[in-house]
Structure 1
Amino acid sequence: MIGLQLYIKKTLKVVAFIFSLLFSLSVFSQNKHSFSFSSSAFILDNKPFRIISGELHPARIPKEYWRHRIQMTKAMGCNTIAMYVFWNYHEKEPGQFDFTTDNRNIADFLKICAEEKMWVLLRPGPYVCGEWDFGGLPPYLLRIPDIKIRCMDSHYLEAVKRYVSRLSSIVKPYLVTNGGNILMVQIENEYGSFANDRNYLETLRGYWTSNGINTPFYTADGATPFMLEAGSLPGVAVGLDPGSSQGNYTLAAQVNPGVPVFSSETYPGWLTHWGEKWARPDTTSLLKEVKFMLDSNLSFNFYVIHGGTNFGFTAGANAFSATQYQPDVTSYDYDAPINEQGRATPKYYAIRRLINQYVKNIPEIPAPVPAMNIPEINMQPFSSLWSNLPKPVASVQPKPFEYYGQDHGMMVYKTKLIGHKSGKLTIWEPHDYALVFLNGMFIDTVFRDGGNWTVDLPKTNVKDPVLEILVEGMGHINFAQFMIDRKGITDRVTLNGMTLMNWEVFSLPFDYRYVLGLKPSAIDIARRGNFFKGSFNLQQTADTYIDMSQYKKGIVWVNGHNLGRYWYIGPQQRLYCPASWLKKGMNEILVFDLLETEAKRIRGKETPE
C-alpha cells in the first residue's frame, strides 16, 4: 500500500510539472522570444530592449491580491516584475519544501505575470537581504555550531544545492529560453557588500546552469569599486543598487566590461525600524533620477514598487556593530508608490505621469481594493503564557533557540539561585528582548540594542530564589557581517560575575500548533505575558488595519493568521489585515502582550495611520 501511495504521489508530481510546462508554452509560444546581451544593452527578439521593472514579493502579498498588484505595476508604466524568492519561506526544515500552499506557489505567481504580459526578473538568492528574516536563508542552518554562510562552507553549500535543485524544477518552464517570461536570474545579492569569494559566485552559477537554468544572469551591488569587483562576474550583467548617475554606469563598465549595466534597485522609498520615524524619501530627487534613466535609455527596477507586509515572524533586522540591533517593523509599506494595502499614492501618479512621456499605451489603473473600519472589539483576559509552558529541557547553561530546534517565537530560561541571590544580573547576550522575573515577580526588561544587558536583582527572603528569563526573538539580522545571529540567550547569564548553571528551558515557538493548543487560565498580573481574546461579527469583509495603540508589545492573530508584531515605541500602531483573512459572521482575534495586564479594546481602521 505504501509503495502504491508513493507511486501515485510521484505520478501526480510529474503530471503537475507537465501541465505547468504546457501552460507556460501556451501563454508564450504564439510569439516565442529570445533574450540576450550586447556589450551595452539587453536584446529582446534581436532588438534593444529597455527593462522598466517594479519589484513585488509574493511572500509579502496575500495570493488573492497578486493579480491586482501586478496590474497596478503595469499601469504605472512597467513592463517587468522583479521578484525575490525567500528560501526560508519555502524550506523551514531540511528537505521539506512548500511551493504549493497559499502565497508560496511561485508557479502561480509566474503564470499570472504571464497572463498579464509582464516579463520577470527572478531574484532567488540563496541570500536576498530584503529586510526579511535572515535575508532569506533558513534559520535551521544556525543549528550547526560552526556554520559559515555565503561561502564555500560544505554544510551551507549542501543546503544551497538542494534548494537550487528544487526551485529550478519549478521555474524552468517559465524561462524565456523555454518560451516563458523569466528574462534573467540574479546570482546571490549584493555580495560585494559582504565578502569577496568569486569562487562561491561561480559555484552558484554552476548550480543553476547544471539544473537547466540557461537564461542570462546578473549580479547586483552598490556602485563602488570594491563592491563591484568583489560581487560581479565576467559575462554576467551588472545591476547597480542604485544606478543614479552616469558616473555609476561608467564605473561598472570599467570594472566588468562587455555586459549591460542597469539600475537593479532604484529606491522610491526606504525601510523603517522600530523606534524610528517613518521613512519618507523625497519624491523630487526620485523623479530626477528616473528622468535621467529614461532620457539615457537605461533599464531600471523600482525597489520596491509595492512592499506588502512582514506577516508573522518574517521581518528581519539590521546591525552594523557588535552591540547594535535594529529590528524592522511589521509593515513593509516602504513609502512605495503602491502602499501596503495596494492603493496608488501621490508618488505613484507622479512616476506614472513621467513614464507616460516615454512609454505608449499604459493601461488604466485598476480599481482600489476596498477597506473598512471595524467598531470597537471588546477584549477579555484569556490565558497566561505561564499556564501554557511545555515540558522543559535541562541545560547546564542556556543555549540559543536554534540549538533546541526552534527558529522563532520565545523561550523561557529558568534556574534556582545558589550562592549570589541578588545584585547585578547580566545576560550575555540577549537576542533580542528579555523580561526578567524573580520568584514569579516581574523585575525589568532588557533590549539587545546598545549593549546594556544588566539589571538589578533585588534581595529576597526566599531560601532558593527562582530566576526566569523570557526572551523574544525579533528577527534574524539580514544584512552585513553580523548575520550569524542566533536567538535567545546566546552565551551565559552571570550574577555579580558568577556564571549561573543548571537551567530548565521551555520552547515557545508561537506557531499555529502552539496557539491552537492554548488552554484558558487566569492571567498572571505579577509575571505578565498574557493572552487576550475577543470576537466580532461582520456583515461584509474588506481590508482593515487592527489598531494596537492601547497595547504595549506583542503579537496579533486574526482567525488564526499571524498579523505580525506591534510595539508601543512605534512608529507602527496598526497592523494590516487582508479581507481574505476575515469572514462574514463571527471572527476571532487573539493578542499576546508581553507587558500589558489589562484587556483593552481594539478597533479596525480603514487607513494605516
Structure 2
Amino acid sequence: MRETWKHKLRTMRAAGLNAVTTYVEWSLHNPKEDVYVWDGIADLEYFIKVAAEEDLYVILRPGPYICAERDMGGFPYWLLTKYPSIKLRTYDEDYLREVSKWYDVLMPKMEKYLYGNGGPIIMVQVENEYGSFGTTDQNYKRWLKELTERYVGDAAVLFTNDGPSQTPRGYIEGVLATLDFGAASNKETDQFFLTLRRYMPKGPLVNIEYYPGWLTHWQENMQRVDTAPVAYSLRYMLQKNASVNFYMWYGGTNFGFTAGANDGGPGKYNADVTSYDYDAPMTEAGDITPKYLALRDVIGEFLPLPQIPIPSVSQKLKYGPVLMKPISVLLSNFARKRLNSGVVESLLPLSFEALDQYSGLVLYETILPKTNRDPVKFHVEKVKDRAYVYVDRNFVGILSRENQVNSLSIPAGLGTKLQVIVENQGRINYGIPNDFKGLLGNTYYNDEMLTGWNMTKFPLENVADIEKMIQTYLQQPILSTSHGKSFVRTGPTFFHGTFNLTRDQLHDTYLNPTGWGKGIAFLNGFNLGRYWPLVGPQINLYVPKEVLKEGEN
C-alpha cells in the first residue's frame, strides 16, 4: 500500500541497508493496451522520492521480465491476446516493438532520478535471470542492452543477474554481471564468485539476490529458512568486500489476481500463495523479526548503523466473526446478467487471452450429444488451471492442472447442458511465460468432440458491479429463502457480510477463512486475493488497516 511505503523504507534503513531494489512491473503500469497507470501502488516516482528521503539508493529492475512470483512474470496478458504466437524474451519483431513502446513511456520518467543526473538510482537492470530461460538469443540480449543504454547512458550502472551456473548464458558483454544465491558454505561462495570473475575479471562482486527466505506454493509446506546460516553467509560475503542485496528483505502481498505460478512440466504446475511473506526479515505486515535483528547485527559489523529507532511491531486487532450471507450463485440468471463482461460464441473453446480477459473466471457451455452410456467420460486435452464441471447446474466434479486431472465421469440423466467454470490460478512467472488460460485444445464426451460453445466472461475486476449486485439483492422486498447450502452445490457463490469499526479500531488485521473452501475475498472494494484453507499452507489473508474504514465495512 502506497501509504505504508515511508514506514517500511524507514524500517529497512534502520537495519543498516543503504539501498532498496524495486522491480517495475509492466503489467501493473500497462494493464491494457495503451492504458497506463501511475497512481496508487503504481506511483513509481513517489516510491523513488520516498526512498531518497529515507537515505536509500535505488536499484531499478525494469524488466521487461521480472519473475517476482507475479502473474506472467510481470508481462501484461494482452501481449498474448494481440500476438498469440509471440515469442517473449527473444528477437521477435512483435515483442521488440512492444518493449520499445513500453520503454518509451517508462524510461523518460526515470531519467531525472538516475544517479548521474542527481537522483538516487545507482543501477539499472538489463535482463533478469536470462541464463535460466529456455533459449539464449544473443541478438535479443544485445538489442535490449542498447535500448536500455539509450536512456541510461553513463548515469547509472547497467547489470544482469543469474544463478552461478547460468551466468555463461545470461552474461551480456559490457554489462556488470551479478549473481543470485542463498546461504552457502565458504567454499561454495568462493566458487560462485570465481565463476563470476571469469566474466568480470574486474569490478565489484555482487550477490543481487541473496535469499534469506523462499517462496511458497499452494498444496505444499510453508517455506522457512533458518536465520543462522543466512547470517553466517552474509558475514562471509561482506568480509570479501562483496555487495549484497537481499531478495526479499520485505516481500508483502500478492493482492488481487497478481500471484504467479511455477511449472516444471506435466503435473508440476504450482500456483503461488497470496502472501509474499517469503520468511523475510520483515513480515508481510512490515514488522521486524528475529531474522531482521540478527542480520542488522551482522551489517553493523561492517557499516555504521543509522541513528534511527527500530520501529516497533504494528498493532493488530481481532474483530471477531463476521456473519456471511449467501447472495447469489454465479450460474444464476441474477448474477450472470449483472457480472458478465460479454458472451462469445465459438465452434471450439477459446482461451482467456483470446477472449481478452486477464483473470477471474470463464464459463464454458455447450449441449451434450445424446448417448446410451452411463456414466460417460468427459475429457479435455488441457485445462488451465482449474475447472468446476456442472450439468444443468448439477455439480459433477473438478478438473485440475495441478493434479493432472483432465477427465471425469458424468452420470446419465443429469441433463443436457454442460457448464464448465474455469479458474485462472496464476500464469507461469518462471520459464516460458506464454501461459494461456482456459479450456485449451479439444474436449470430448464419449470420445465425441464437443463443438458449439458459448463463453461467458467473469473477470471479477470491476468490484463496483459486484457491490451493485449485492445491493440490488439486499433491496428486494422479499429475499429468497432458497440460497443456503443448495447454492454451494450449484456453483460458486457470492457471500456478503458487514462489520462496524470506530476510528480507533482501524489497525492491521487478518481474515481467517477456516472452514471455507476456495475463493476470493473483497473488502471495501479491495481484492485481498485468493484463499484456499482446504489445502493451505496459507490460511489467513493479510488486511492492511488502509483497507478498513470508520463505520460499516
Structure 1 length as normaliser, TM-score? 0.83
Q: Which whole-Å deviations, capped at 9, do the CAs of 1:18-53 have from their partners, x for residues lacking one?
A: xxxxxxxxxxxxxxxxxxxxxxxxxxxxxxxxxxxx
Distance 1:213 1:555, change over 3 A: farther
Mapped to 1, the partners of 2:80 and 2:466 lie a distance apart of: 25
What residue is the counterpart of 1:371 in the other structure? 316
Q: Is the contact between residue 399 and residue 406 of structure 2 (CA under 8 Å) also seen in structure 1?
A: yes
What residue is the counterpart of 2:427 in the other structure? 476
Question: What pairs with 1:419-434 in structure 2 (closer than 5 Å)?
Answer: 419-420=370-371, 422-434=375-387
What residue is the counterpart of 2:54 in the other structure? 116
Q: Is the contact between residue 190 and residue 220 of structure 1 (CA under 8 Å) also seen in structure 2?
A: yes
Q: Is the contact between residue 224 and residue 279 of structure 2 (CA under 8 Å) also seen in structure 1?
A: yes
Question: What pairs with 1:238-249 in structure 2 (closer than 5 Å)?
Answer: 238-242=177-181, 244=184, 245-249=189-193
Q: Which whole-Å deviations, capped at 9, do the CAs of 1:97-121 have from their partners, x for residues lacking one?
A: 111x211000000000111111011
Question: What pairs with 1:53-132 in structure 2 (closer than 5 Å)?
Answer: 62-99=1-38, 101-132=39-70
Say what the alpha-carbon RMSD is for the aligned residues.
Answer: 1.5
CA drift at 1:167: 1.0
CA drift at 1:69: 1.0
What residue is the counterpart of 1:290 in the other structure? 234
CA drift at 1:501: 0.3
Q: Is the contact between residue 364 and residue 421 of structure 2 (CA under 8 Å) also seen in structure 1?
A: yes
Q: Match of 2:159, as an amino acid? A: Y
Q: Secondary structure at the match of 1:161?
A: helix
Q: Is the contact between residue 165 and residue 211 of structure 1 (CA under 8 Å) also seen in structure 2?
A: no
Mapped to 1, the partners of 2:45 and 2:263 lie a distance apart of: 34
CA drift at 1:213: 5.0
Q: Match of 1:275, as an amino acid? A: Q
Q: Which whole-Å deviations, capped at 9, do the CAs of 1:228-278 have from their partners, x for residues lacking one?
A: 111111221111012750111111111343443310100000000001111
Q: Match of 1:372, as an amino acid? A: L
Structure 2: runs of 5 or more not aligned: 474-479
Q: Match of 1:499, as an amino acid? A: M
Q: Does 1:211 align with 2:151?
A: yes
Q: Does 1:439 align with 2:392?
A: yes
Q: Is the contact between residue 234 and residue 256 of structure 1 (CA under 8 Å) also seen in structure 2?
A: no
What residue is the counterpart of 1:544 in the other structure? 509
CA drift at 1:461: 6.7
CA drift at 1:517: 4.3
Mapped to 1, the partners of 2:153 and 2:73 lie a distance apart of: 23
Q: Which whole-Å deviations, capped at 9, do the CAs of 1:491-517 have from their partners, x for residues lacking one?
A: 121113221000110000011254244
What residue is the counterpart of 1:535 in the other structure? 498
Q: Which whole-Å deviations, capped at 9, do the CAs of 1:39-81 have from their partners, x for residues lacking one?
A: xxxxxxxxxxxxxxxxxxxxxxx01110111111111111000
What residue is the counterpart of 1:57 in the other structure? none
Q: Does 1:231 align with 2:188?
A: no
What residue is the counterpart of 2:476 in the other structure? none
Mapped to 2, the partners of 1:525 and 1:298 lie a distance apart of: 56
Mapped to 2, the partners of 1:150 and 1:359 lie a distance apart of: 39
| Residue 368 of structure 2, aligned match among 398, 410, 417 | 417
Q: Does 1:576 align with 2:542?
A: yes
Q: Is the contact between residue 217 and residue 237 of structure 1 (CA under 8 Å) also seen in structure 2?
A: yes
| Residue 303 of structure 2, aligned match among 356, 359, 363 | 359
Q: Match of 1:219, as an amino acid? A: T
Question: What pairs with 1:24-43 in structure 2 (closer than 5 Å)?
Answer: none
Structure 1: runs of 5 or more not aligned: 1-61, 588-609
Q: Secondary structure at the match of 2:283?
A: coil
Q: Is the contact between residue 126 and residue 148 of structure 2 (CA under 8 Å) also seen in structure 1?
A: no
Question: What pairs with 1:595-606 in structure 2 (closer than 5 Å)?
Answer: none
CA drift at 1:211: 3.1
What residue is the counterpart of 1:252 in the other structure? 196
Mapped to 2, the partners of 1:92 and 1:378 lie a distance apart of: 35
What residue is the counterpart of 1:452 in the other structure? 405
Mapped to 1, the partners of 2:63 and 2:13 lie a distance apart of: 25
The count of aligned residue pairs is 520
Q: Is the contact between residue 391 and residue 414 of structure 2 (CA under 8 Å) also seen in structure 1?
A: no
Q: Secondary structure at the match of 1:239?
A: strand
Mapped to 1, the partners of 2:317 and 2:447 lie a distance apart of: 55
CA drift at 1:87: 0.8
Mapped to 1, the partners of 2:531 and 2:33 lie a distance apart of: 30
Q: Which whole-Å deviations, capped at 9, do the CAs of 1:169-211 have from their partners, x for residues lacking one?
A: 2111110010000001011200000021122122112222223
Question: What pairs with 1:302-381 in structure 2 (closer than 5 Å)?
Answer: 302-362=246-306, 363-381=308-326
CA drift at 1:212: 4.6
Question: What pairs with 1:171-190 in structure 2 (closer than 5 Å)?
Answer: 171-190=110-129
Question: What pairs with 1:196-207 in structure 2 (closer than 5 Å)?
Answer: 196-207=136-147
Q: Is the contact between residue 238 and residue 260 of structure 1 (CA under 8 Å) also seen in structure 2?
A: no
Q: Is the contact between residue 398 and residue 489 of structure 1 (CA under 8 Å) also seen in structure 2?
A: yes
Mapped to 1, the partners of 2:61 and 2:313 lie a distance apart of: 28
Q: Is the contact between residue 177 and residue 199 of structure 2 (CA under 8 Å) also seen in structure 1?
A: no
CA drift at 1:82: 0.7
